[in-house]
Structure 1
Amino acid sequence: MTSLTSPAARAAHPPVQRVVEVSGRRPVGAYVELTLAAPEIAERTEPGQFVAFAVGGPTSAHLLRRSIAIAGAADGAVTVMVAPHGPGSTWLAGLQVGDTVDVVGPLGRPYPMPSDGTPAVLVGGGYGAAALRGLAARLRAAGSPVIAICGAASADRLSSVDELGELAEVIVTTDDGSAGRQGRVTDAMAELLTSRAPGQVGVVYACGPMAMLRAVAEAATTAGLPSYVAVEESMACGVGVCMTCVLPVVGEDGRTRFSRSCTDGPVFGGDRVRFADVGTLPWDVVGADAMGVVAP
């Protein structure tokens, strides 16, 4: 399998920009699932990648795009799960069948694949679970047993449980106990890793909130397992220009550099991301001395 200390493989195909039609729309709890007629993007997509939408329409004052993980890409269509929050995502969630939207994709580096047959655990938080659907299908096609742990604050915040259930053994958790078992996905993951014999889990993948990714990565590393996480840093441009999505990542040479989530990620080796230092300027990051940062 790809080494844990290596960055995720680069995508095989370059992205394209297209104005596409919304061919499907359905509410999913607190979210909205959109299906786009985007064959050129669908045929290029690999699990873990994302698309970036222009929001607000042609006369909008929203200059920056909204980046959303790809939930599925098949038969000429791309599916995304939209969580209405700010004005951009709320506008996207309001799109109806027949509307058009400007989209760039697929963007970012995909999840690296393990050797065929490697048992995998997938951990999804909230709508982040949708981003694991394509990965689960790819793993199953390669003969890998898959366990998916889907968690959220409440039942209406869960995502893609049924879709993942067609491909994997699924464990559901909610903070309030309104669906599945009460608790966090990280608790269920810790119990799973301790209950399985050596070799029954070979790799861990995750997508969701940063605090969850940190806990998943730490648990996997403690168990001696490689992990790969798709980070949720804000990606304003999606193409590596604006530098709003940088976070400290340890390279193969052991040195920390600021990596762009949109182009160097969004998938990183779990033990490579310095989660505790996200949002700060570590003294030992490459280039810190030039900015006047000194060692403590």
Structure 2
Amino acid sequence: MTDVPGVQGPVHVEAEVVATRRIGGYRHLTLTAPGVPERFRAGNFVAVTVAGHVARRALWVHRVRASSSFGPTLDVVVEARGSGTEWIAAQPVGARVALTGPLGRPFALPKDAVSCLLVGEGYAAAPLFPLAERLRERGCAVSLLVSAPDEARLLAALEARRSARSVTVLTADGSVGVRGTVAEHVDDLLARSEADVVYAAGPTPVLRAAAGAAERAGAWSQVAVEVPAPCGTGLCHGCPLPVVGEDGVERVVRACADGPVVRGDRVRWDSL
């Protein structure tokens, strides 16, 4: 794998909502945020200041466009799960929000054209879509597994088919695609794809299942961990992530600054 080269630091800007649409169980927002799309790399996230709240809300970036009628834009996917995300999801076209980004460590890309399996669930699968584009540009064979509890919370299944060589869709209730969970199917999919690298984004059980499958198959894995990130910059130390360092010593790092992307075999899953 390549080392992640230095990335220009994040910027704090006033972003504008230029499009908003409801797709299934999620709200998709398109934002102009000067300087952020130009700095973005797959796996980065942005943090939005919410009116009436001290803590900001971290959002995955689903797509970046270098040019549009509004200039460079970025798309985020919001699942309204509390007052903060409800406020963000309710912002109309023309609204302006304070946004900081891009934040966090992105996915590292392979040096060579290898086979890759991307595993994601729900809205948190968002960072896998720009990652798939980068991998394809490098000549990698990309297989994609997208899952959700039900059809309404399945992210961009049609878009997935344009992003990968092969796509497997799972829903826990069987409403679309194959019935089942990532844990039940990932070993078989990894064997069939003959992937050298596994990338995963989603809830902790999905990440753990993908990382475990990669370890059993002798593949390299990277996971985009999602934990609450009150500041998004690492200053508040409010997003502890238990890991094992290269030296074998257990420690706690900051998910927003030392992650969110980390090696799957380094996470102390039982502690998380």
Which TM bucket (shorter chain)? over 0.9
Letter in 1 for 2:44: Q
Which structure has the larger Rg over C-alpha atoms? 1
TM superposition shift of 1:24: 1.1
Q: Tell me which moved more, 114-123 or 101-110.
A: 114-123
1:71-98 CA-to-partner distances (Å, cap 9, x unmatched) read 1122210110000001000000111111
3-state SS in 1 of match to 2:163: coil
Q: Name the CA distance, whole Å, in 1 between partners of 2:168 and 2:83.
A: 33
3-state SS in 2 of match to 1:127: helix
The match for 1:232 is 226
Pair 1:132-2:128 in alignment: yes
1:255-276 CA-to-partner distances (Å, cap 9, x unmatched) read 1111100000000000000010
1:121-176 CA-to-partner distances (Å, cap 9, x unmatched) read 00001111211111000000110110110000000010022222111021100000
The match for 2:235 is 241
Q: Of residues 92, 95, 98 in structure 2, which corresponds to 1:99?
A: 95
Letter in 2 for 1:40: G
Query: What aligned pairs does 1:25-174 form with structure 2 within 5 A after superposition?
Result: 25-56=20-51, 60=52, 62-75=53-66, 76-168=72-164, 169-174=166-171
1:190-209 CA-to-partner distances (Å, cap 9, x unmatched) read 1112335xxx3110000000
The match for 1:202 is 196
Q: Name the CA distance, whole Å, in 2 between partners of 1:193 and 1:16.
A: 38
TM superposition shift of 1:11: 4.9
TM superposition shift of 1:15: 0.2
The match for 2:7 is 12
TM superposition shift of 1:70: 1.1
List, as ranges, runs of 4+ consecutive aligned residues in structure 1 with deviation greater than 3 Å. Answer: none
Normalised by the length of structure 2, the TM-score is 0.95
Q: Name the CA distance, whole Å, in 2 between partners of 1:172 and 1:73.
A: 24
Pair 1:192-2:183 in alignment: no
Of all paired residues, the percent bearing the same amino acid is 44
Q: Is the 8 A contact 1:136 1:164 kept in 2?
A: no
Q: Name the CA distance, whole Å, in 1 between partners of 2:182 and 2:21.
A: 26
3-state SS in 2 of match to 1:213: helix
Q: Is the 8 A contact 2:27 2:78 kept in 1?
A: yes
Alpha-carbon RMSD: 1.2
Is there any run of 5+ residues in structure 2 with no aligned partner, and where?
A: 67-71
Q: Name the CA distance, whole Å, in 2 between partners of 1:123 and 1:51.
A: 21
Letter in 2 for 1:65: R
TM superposition shift of 1:230: 0.4
Q: Is the 8 A contact 1:13 1:44 kept in 2?
A: yes
TM superposition shift of 1:20: 1.2
Distance verdict in 2 for CA 1:11–1:157, change over 3 Å: farther
Q: Name the CA distance, whole Å, in 2 between partners of 1:210 and 1:253.
A: 24
What is the number of equivalent residue pairs in this alignment? 266
Q: Name the CA distance, whole Å, in 1 between partners of 2:17 and 2:48.
A: 12
Letter in 2 for 1:212: V
Q: Name the CA distance, whole Å, in 2 between partners of 1:185 and 1:254.
A: 28
The match for 1:24 is 19
Q: Of residues 166, 169, 172 in structure 2, which corresponds to 1:175?
A: 172
1:7-54 CA-to-partner distances (Å, cap 9, x unmatched) read x73651100000111011111110001010124100000000000000
Is there any run of 5+ residues in structure 1 with no aligned partner, and where?
A: 3-7, 279-296
Query: What aligned pairs does 1:271-286 form with structure 2 within 5 A after superposition?
Result: 271-278=265-272
Letter in 2 for 1:243: H
Letter in 2 for 1:73: V
Q: Name the CA distance, whole Å, in 2 between partners of 1:185 and 1:98.
A: 39
1:197-244 CA-to-partner distances (Å, cap 9, x unmatched) read xxx311000000011111111111111101000001111110111112
Q: Is the 8 A contact 1:133 1:160 kept in 2?
A: no
